[in-house]
A and B are shown apart, each in its own frame.
Chain A
Amino acid sequence: MSKRIDVGDLNVYYGNFLAVEGVSMAIEPRSVTAFIGPSGCGKSTFIRTLNRMHEVIPGARVQGKVLLDGEDLYGPSVDPVTVRRQVGMVFQRPNPFPTMSIRDNVLAGMKLNSNRMSKSAANEVVERSLQGANLWNEVKDRLDKPGSGLSGGQQQRLCIARAIAVQPDVLLMDEPCSALDPISTLAIEDLIGELKQNYTIVIVTHNMQQAARVSDRTAFFNIAGTGKPGKLIEMDDTTKMFTNPSVKATEDYVSGRFG
Chain B
Amino acid sequence: MSVATKPPAQNSLAHNQLPRYTTQLVLVASAAAGAGVSALWGGFSIVSFAVLSVLIFVIVNTVLSAVVEGRRKAVDKLVTSLVYTAFGLALVPLISVIWSVLDNGTARFSMDFLTTSMRNVTGLNDQEALEGAAPFIGGAYHAILGTFLITALATLISVPIGLLTSIYLVEYGRGRLARSITFFVDVMTGIPSIVAGLFAAALFAVLFGVGTRNGFAGAVALSVLMIPVVVRSSEEMLRIVPNELREAAYALGVPKWRTIVKVVVPTAISGIASGVTLAIARVVGETAPLIVTAGFTSSINTNPFSDWMMSLPAYVYSQALRPLSGSSPQPSFDRAWAAALTLILIVMLLNLVARLIARLFAPKTGR
Residues of A within 8 A of B (CB): 51, 53, 56, 58, 81-86, 88-89, 91, 93, 95-99, 108-109, 111-114, 142, 145-146, 148-150, 159, 162-163, 166
Contacts and interface: CB of A to CB of B under 8 A. Distances in A.
Nearest to B364: A146
Given A93-B244, A95-B242, A99-B266, A146 B366 contact: yes
B259 A112 contact: yes
B164 interface: no
A48 B364 CA distance: 31
B254 to A, nearest CB: 4
B251 interface: yes
A148 B251 contact: no
Contacts of A81: 253-255
B2 interface: no
Interface string B245-258: 11111111111001
Contacts of B363: 98-99, 146, 148
Given A113-B258, A146-B363, A97 B267 contact: yes
A56 B246 CA distance: 9
A150 B267 CA distance: 18
A56 B252 contact: no
Contacts of B5: none
Contacts of B249: 97, 108, 112
Closest 6 CB pairs of A and B: A85-B253, A98-B363, A89-B251, A95-B244, A149-B367, A109-B252
A53 B245 contact: no
Given A84-B253, A108-B252, A166-B253, A91 B365 contact: no
Interface residues of B, number: 25
A77 to B, nearest CB: 16
B267 to A, nearest CB: 6
Contacts of B244: 91, 93, 95
Q: Which of B245, B247, B248, B258 has the most chain A CB within a 10 Å cutoff?
A: B248
A88 B251 contact: yes
B263 interface: yes
Given A56-B247, A113-B258, A88 B366 contact: no
Contacts of B20: none
27 contacts: A51-B251, A53-B250, A53-B251, A56-B247, A56-B250, A84-B251, A85-B253, A88-B251, A89-B251, A91-B247, A91-B248, A97-B263, A98-B267, A99-B263, A99-B267, A108-B248, A108-B249, A109-B253, A112-B263, A113-B253, A113-B258, A145-B366, A145-B367, A148-B363, A162-B252, A163-B252, A166-B252
A99 B262 CA distance: 10
A112 B247 contact: no
A97 to B, nearest CB: 6
Q: Which of B246, B252, B259 has the most chain A CB within a 10 Å cutoff?
A: B252
Nearest to B174: A58
A98 B270 CA distance: 13
Contacts of B262: 111-112
Contacts of B251: 51, 53, 84, 88-89, 91, 163
